[in-house]
Amino acid sequence: MTTYKGINGFAVQSVASDPSPLDEGQVWYNNATYAFKLAALTTAGTWATGGSLNTGKALTAGAGTQTAGLNFGGNSALTNTELYNGTSWTSNPTGLNTGRRNLGGAGTQTAGLAFGGFDASASAATEKFNGSSWTSVNSMNTARRIYGQNGTGLQTATIIAGGGQQPSGTTASESYDGTTWTNTPSLNTSRSGNAMSGTQTAGLVFGGFSNYPTSTTAAESWNGSSWTTVNSMNTARALLAGAGTQTATVAFGGGTTTAPAQVNATELWNGTSWTSNPNGLANARDGLAGTGTQAAALAFGGNPPSTATEEFTGPGSPVTRTITTS
């Protein structure tokens, strides 16, 4: 008689909690819930509710991963900083030195970067986070409101493109090497309120206001020396967020110029084209922040000042299924 052990060379494990990470086809018995379970692949990306922020925020920024996230700034001119552990947010004892909204973020939970934004006026301020406190460092060359989840990379290797003052925004681009900001070649399309993903040498910019309040679907790719126009998004929107790499990005939320103004639309980029994901955010919003990867993204905050956090599991990622007899 053919058995699971005979096929796989080992018996089904009996465990008290579901294993992580998962491997496709993995089978186990959860002795706490008395159920056999299977790791199957998703056919579409899905959003699930995560732990709420302690402070409702809009026009906020973030960095890190889905299980080690960092959030800072927002609203009128918050300094508030929070850390996410994959389950809940914890307020950090110390916040930004310069409170602001419409700022950009990059890096990790223990090595984050905050830049630009708006308090009483457009800001060029840049600060580094070491996991517990913020330190002011050299400012950007051009003070600007970021107007979106703009900026991508590491604390020592970041690029920002677009942003600026409404209505038309800017094509300006700058890179940061951990010490100073350097002007880099400009975007092909001027914009503000756009989002970015990738690294300092392989980035992607998408969406934004092309001429406020008109939003755009335009996207551009960065190879470390120049910007190239690529295929456009399906839904025009600004003040959106995104996560991932130059060739595997998820874009979510934002606002359009047609009713309803705020959208929950989620799109996936494969390096060539954008595909609308059938499952969108549970909470339609703009002015939110995002971080992580296409397979495991994190969305938090948004207009009106919100504490909502959502976790994205990308298509093709292993998920837990309960085995039944039906």
pLDDT of residue 323: 87
Supply the pLDDT for residue 1. 58
Q: Are the beta carbons of 154 and 106 closer than 8 angstroms? A: yes
| Number of domains composing the chain | 2
Q: Which domain holds residue 261?
A: 46-313
Using CB atoms within 10 A of its CB, is residue 11 exposed (0-12), middle (13-18) or buried (19+)? exposed
Q: What is the pLDDT of residue 291?
A: 96
What 3-state DSSP class applies to 46? strand
Question: How far is it, in rounded angstroms, from Cα 197 to Cα 294?
Answer: 10
Query: How open is the CA angle 63-272-159, to the nearest 5 degrees?
Result: 35
Residue 53: name the closest of 309, 267, 325 by CA.
309
Q: What is the pLDDT of residue 65?
A: 97
Is residue 177 one of the residues assigned to a domain?
Answer: yes
pTM, two decimals, is 0.87
How do strand 69-72 and strand 309-313 relate by DSSP bridges?
Answer: unpaired
Verify that 68 and 142 share a domain, yes or no: yes
In the structure encoding, which two tokens stand for residue 216, read together?
């755009």
Exposure string for 254-281, b = 16+ CB within 10 A, e = fewer:
bbbeeeeebbbbbbbbeeeebeebeebb
User: Is 102 within the bounds of a domain?
Assistant: yes
Half-sphere exposure of 123 (CA within 13 A, CB side): 24
Could you tell me how many residues make up the chain?
Answer: 326
Residues 213 and 94 in one domain: yes
Q: What are the residue ranges of helices labelled H in 13-172?
A: none
d(C-alpha 218, C-alpha 168), whole Å:
14
Identify the helix (H) or strand (E) that includes residue 14: strand 13-15
The parts of the chain modelled with pLDDT lower than 70 are 1-10, 147-149, 326
Query: Does residue 237 share a domain with residue 164?
Result: yes
92 and 23, same domain (yes or no): no
For 306, the token pair is 């919100």
Q: Would residue 119 count as lying in a domain?
A: yes
Please give the structure tokens belonging to residue 178: 């951990």
Residues 6+ apart with CB under 8 A from 197: 152, 203, 204, 206, 242, 243, 244, 245, 246, 249
Which amino acid makes up residue 260? P
Say if residue 162 is in the same domain as residue 15: no
127 with 148, same domain: the answer is yes
- What CATH number does the domain containing 87 carry? 2.120.10.80
Q: Are residues 33 and 116 in the same domain?
A: no
Q: What is the pLDDT of residue 10?
A: 61
Determine how many CB atoms are found less than 10 A away from the CB of residue 131: 12
